[in-house]
C-alpha cells in the first residue's frame, strides 16, 4: 500500500469538510482512480472532481499519471479570471 496525503483547497475544502486527509491507496493507482475513490468517500465532491486541477508533489498532473509513494496530492477548483 501507498500512504499519501490529499490537500483540499477553496470550495473543494468546503465540500470535503476538511483541509486534508491521509489515505492508503494501492500501488500504481492513477490520479483518475484516486478521484473516483474520493467521489465515493466524499459524495459532496463528485461534481467538483470532474473539473478539479490536481497537483502531485507540487506539479500539475493528468488523470493517467501514476501516483508515486508518499505523494502529496493537492486538489484545486478551476479558476476563472474576469
pTM assigned to the model: 0.92
Kindly compute the dihedral angle of the four CA atoms of residues 9, 70, 34, 29, in this order, to the nearest 10 degrees: 160
Please compute, for residue 70, the number of CA atoms within 13 A of its CA located in the half-sphere on the CB side.
0
Asked if 61 and 31 count as a contact pair (C-beta separation under 8 A), the reply is yes
Q: What range does the domain containing 60 cover?
A: 2-76
Q: pLDDT tens, 5-35?
A: 999 999 999 999 999 999 999 999 999 999 9
**Could you give the number of structural domains in the chain?**
1
Q: Is residue 82 part of a domain?
A: no
Task: CATH number of the domain at 8, please.
Answer: 3.10.20.30
Q: Of 56, 51, 49, whose CA–CA distance to 73 is shortest?
A: 56
Amino acid at each position: 500500500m501507498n500512504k499519501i496525503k490529499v490537500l483540499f483547497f477553496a470550495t473543494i475544502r468546503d465540500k470535503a469538510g476538511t483541509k486534508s486527509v491521509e489515505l492508503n491507496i494501492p500501488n500504481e493507482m492513477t490520479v483518475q482512480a484516486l478521484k473516483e475513490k474520493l467521489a465515493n468517500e466524499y459524495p459532496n465532491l463528485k461534481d467538483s472532481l470532474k473539473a478539479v486541477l490536481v497537483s502531485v508533489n507540487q506539479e500539475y498532473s493528468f488523470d493517467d499519471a501514476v501516483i508515486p509513494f508518499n505523494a502529496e496530492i493537492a486538489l484545486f477548483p478551476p479558476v476563472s479570471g474576469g
